[in-house]
Amino acid sequence: MPFAELKLALSTKLAEAFGYNLDRGRIDKAVHPFSSGSGQDVRITTRTNPTDPFNCFYSTIHEVGHACYEQNINADYLLTPLGGGVSMGVHESQSRIYENQIGRSRAFTSWLYQQMVEAFGDFGVADAEAFYGAVNRVNDGYIRTEADEVQYNLHVLMRFDLEQALMSGDLQVGDLEAAWNDRFEADFGYAVDKPSNGVLQDVHWPVGLFGYFPTYSLGNVYAGCLNEAMRDALPDLDNKLATGDTEDATRWLRQNVQTHGGLYEPREVIEKASGQVPGPAPLISYLKEKFSDIYKL
């Protein structure tokens, strides 16, 4: 089987492992991954990169987080104002916790490593621990959707500041590319090489989605709160994830977040699920603990 088809086959296996119901959805390829639909028809796209299988796998898991939120809303709410995700911030909390706190955990990546060995043979990574480090590596990169957890929110902050300047009239659209390039080099320390790696990489502004980018960081903050509560509630979770079994985690999220749809206000959903007022402390603690361990800091 060709390499791209192998990646898509494993990508589909990952989607099903996280509870995505293909009887009410499908997976296709696109330049920019996305999830679309609700209720009985929730579809996702992913993308492939000839040199980077993680791009495909974690794009898929991220979009499955969105899709499962929509698929798992209480069926009584279908075709009503309550029958969709309550906010994009809560939506992003689901995609980010699926992708990162669950999908990039040491336990789950040990299972994923074995799946990759079975699919691709020797792919140049010595063992599961080295694979865990590779999946979570902090590295230079232009693309927000491919950014590591440590730097991801820097991409969002940059876009937020540029958006504010555009909306206030302090920045003209014709000057946006230059402003992006200057800000990116100042924040990240290296220059953008081409527009597709810079101002043209996201679809949001061209389709009018201004004010959208902060929901990604809000989703990360929410995911930190949810992960802390989920881990407290499921002390044996890692043993399950190490076998590729995400059911305990996805059931907890389904029962505590997803089923409610639009029944509660966004902050109330997270507060009810996590038992705390949403704030950044759990996310910061998670990031410090995880990456201090990986990099022996």
Please provide the CATH number assigned to the domain covering 3-137+215-294: 1.10.1370.30
- pLDDT, position 13: 94
Give yes or no for residue 264 having a pLDDT over 70.
yes
CB 163 within 8 A of CB 210: yes
Statement: residue 241 has pLDDT above 70? yes
Q: Give 3-state DSSP helix, strand, coil % of the chain, rounded to 5.
A: 60, 5, 35
pLDDT higher than threshold 70 for residue 3: no
Mean pLDDT of the 46-59 span:
80
Under the banding of pLDDT at 50, 70 and 90, the label for residue 163 is very high
Mean of all residue pLDDT scores within the chain: 94
Q: Which pLDDT score, from 0 to 100, does residue 155 have?
A: 98
Q: What is the pLDDT of residues 87-107, one digit of tens each?
A: 999 999 999 999 999 999 999
Q: Give the model confidence (pLDDT) of 107-150 as tens digits.
A: 999 999 999 999 888 889 999 999 999 999 999 999 998 899 99
- Which residues are the active-site residues? 63
* Structure-token match 């929509």, residue found: 70
Inform me whether the pLDDT recorded for 238 exceeds 90: yes
Please give the average per-residue pLDDT across 235-247, as a whole number. 98
Chain segment 178-223, per-residue pLDDT in tens: 999 999 999 999 999 999 999 999 989 999 999 999 999 999 999 9
Measured in degrees and rounded to the nearest 5, phi and psi for residue 115 equal: -65, -40
Residue spans per domain, the chain:
3-137+215-294
What's the order of all strands across the beta sheet hosting 35-38?
27-29, 41-46, 35-38
For 99-154, the DSSP string reads IIIITTSHHHHHHHHHHHHHHHS--S--SHHHHHHHHT-----S-GGG--TTTHHH
pLDDT at residue 60 greater than cutoff 80: yes
- Does pLDDT of 2 surpass 70? no
**Model's pTM, two decimal places?**
0.93
User: Given pLDDT bands bounded at 50, 70 and 90, which one contains residue 28?
Assistant: confident
Say what the pLDDT of residue 287 is.
98
- Distance, CA of 63 to CA of 241 (rounded, Å): 19
pLDDT of residue 292: 98
